Structure 1
């Protein structure tokens, strides 16, 4: 077992005593340190001019910089899901085997982190082309232009299931507390559908429903929710209506209803929820529901109605004002996915 290293003060004293003519043995006795420590302190100062410990190289790393570059090449495709597979492939080229934990440390050092895959719609080449053409077509629209577009959509919320991962602060002892678990059930406890729209001046009225949306119901939405909401907007502006390309939005019945109601429709690109700001609003509502005690469909609908009424015009504008940035990102991605 080695002796503990002496501090810089005693090393300086040992050098001073040596310069004054003292022998190493006398210095060791006077400072109550070992003869070796006294000798090394004097030798260190005469050689390097310092009382501090020199930097140590430490244990040689098992994975070199070349190995790090190989790890980056291995962390692609299906193998990136499992560090054990990366380790197995890496060990085939190393003289000394390394553990998966070592590979994980090097992955972190290289900037990698183990994260869930981002869910995005599947895009064919034709979808990317159409998205790119749409973005270039509306690239000249200003923020004010976009504030006069009513973005609409439908979504479904469940009693016992949230769209986003529910995170809480807890200790290990609290992991099974009522407020620290996410209760699950067959069918997720029931569901409530909601249709709504937003523009730079606020929200439309929302429609809540329990069965699936279809063309007949959507025609009623346009007549009973959209048109009355549009009449409440400032008359000095002409508003455009946006909807995605869901089957019940593009049916013959709905097209005739839009023509009959004289609704000005915005062209839309396929597979483009990332360009529609109302998609982000659904996530905001879902996060607000996380803190609500919801036990059945009636309570879920009441909470949704309350939270929908709390949506402010400022929130709507802050979402809509991001559209020019989204368009630029989509163009940069050549119509592909972006964040």
Structure 2
């Protein structure tokens, strides 16, 4: 196929397709349908000229020229988005949906895709966190509350404890930049400041909050948390009886920790 020099109308069509978010390779195929052999780099050059403000509609539109018309979204496209795209994989992005539409011949912008998704009855939201649970543990998680309901357990003497980590620098940061500019560098420490927090709650009150930076080992857990945080709380609010609840972290279930709790009459409610 011979090569052609692009006319004003050809440039207009390329820019109009680009404004509707067509990818470069799709624009090349579209122009080729009219018998014009245009390369990827040529189309990219026209788009760059448009982005730099060197060419635009006002530079080559005349009263006899019209913008090319494109396929509009139809009811079939909405059904496609609903049944074939979103419902099958709800974690898809609007870019993914746009690509699926383009594969079936419907080329639209991302903003149009957002509107189509809304018309299809969907909205974007952050998913709720749900930890994966093995089938064996699912049975245990159901039988445990049933047992407590049957025993009419009101958790009067249970001390619930846990740890968490707090990091000063958040990795989820969005930074804005001008189009076609290099993403700016946002300095952050290689090892951001992080502290760990231990605390407990019960129906009779809360434990003291322990903040530490050390890596928690069994020895640290025993000497700095159980001795300094849990035992004083038990002696003060639960001198009669108690049930101590913690997760199955290896530091919590080590032999040294078990022996310490047994020696100091800490009633570990291992559920």
TM-score, normalised via structure 1 length: 0.47
Match of 1:334 in 2: none
Query: Greater share of helix residues, 1 or 2?
Result: 1
Match among 222, 226, 234 for residue 226 of structure 2 = 222
Larger RCO, structures 1/2 (Cα 8 Å, 6+ apart): 1
**1: CA distance between counterparts of 2:205 and 2:94?**
48
Match among 114, 135, 155 for residue 104 of structure 1 = 114
User: Does 2:195 correspond to 1:185?
Assistant: no
Q: Please report how far the alpha carbon of residue 105 of structure 1 lies from its aligned counterpart in structure 2 after TM superposition.
A: 0.9
Q: Please report how far the alpha carbon of residue 136 of structure 1 lies from its aligned counterpart in structure 2 after TM superposition.
A: 2.9
Match of 2:165 in 1: 156
Match of 1:89 in 2: 100
Match among 91, 100, 110 for residue 80 of structure 1 = 91
Give the alignment of 1:148-297 within 5 angstroms.
148-161=157-170, 184-188=188-192, 190-220=193-223, 221-233=225-237, 235=239, 238-268=241-271
SS in 2 for 1:187: coil
Q: Please report how far the alpha carbon of residue 201 of structure 1 lies from its aligned counterpart in structure 2 after TM superposition.
A: 2.2
Give aligned pairs, total.
Answer: 189
Q: Please report how far the alpha carbon of residue 81 of structure 1 lies from its aligned counterpart in structure 2 after TM superposition.
A: 3.0
**1: CA distance between counterparts of 2:216 and 2:236?**
25
Q: Please report how far the alpha carbon of residue 251 of structure 1 lies from its aligned counterpart in structure 2 after TM superposition.
A: 0.9
Match of 1:281 in 2: none
Is residue 79–residue 85 contact of structure 1 (8 Å, CA) maintained in 2? no
Q: Please report how far the alpha carbon of residue 217 of structure 1 lies from its aligned counterpart in structure 2 after TM superposition.
A: 1.6
SS in 2 for 1:186: coil
Structure 1, unaligned stretches of length 5 or more? 1-60, 167-181, 269-339
Is residue 79–residue 120 contact of structure 2 (8 Å, CA) maintained in 1? no
Change (3 A) 1:208 1:92: closer
SS in 2 for 1:145: coil
**1: CA distance between counterparts of 2:101 and 2:155?**
52
Is residue 160–residue 183 contact of structure 1 (8 Å, CA) maintained in 2? no
**2: CA distance between counterparts of 1:105 and 1:141?**
53
Change (3 A) 1:80 1:205: closer
Larger Rg computed on CA atoms: 1
Is residue 154–residue 196 contact of structure 1 (8 Å, CA) maintained in 2? yes
**2: CA distance between counterparts of 1:99 and 1:209?**
51
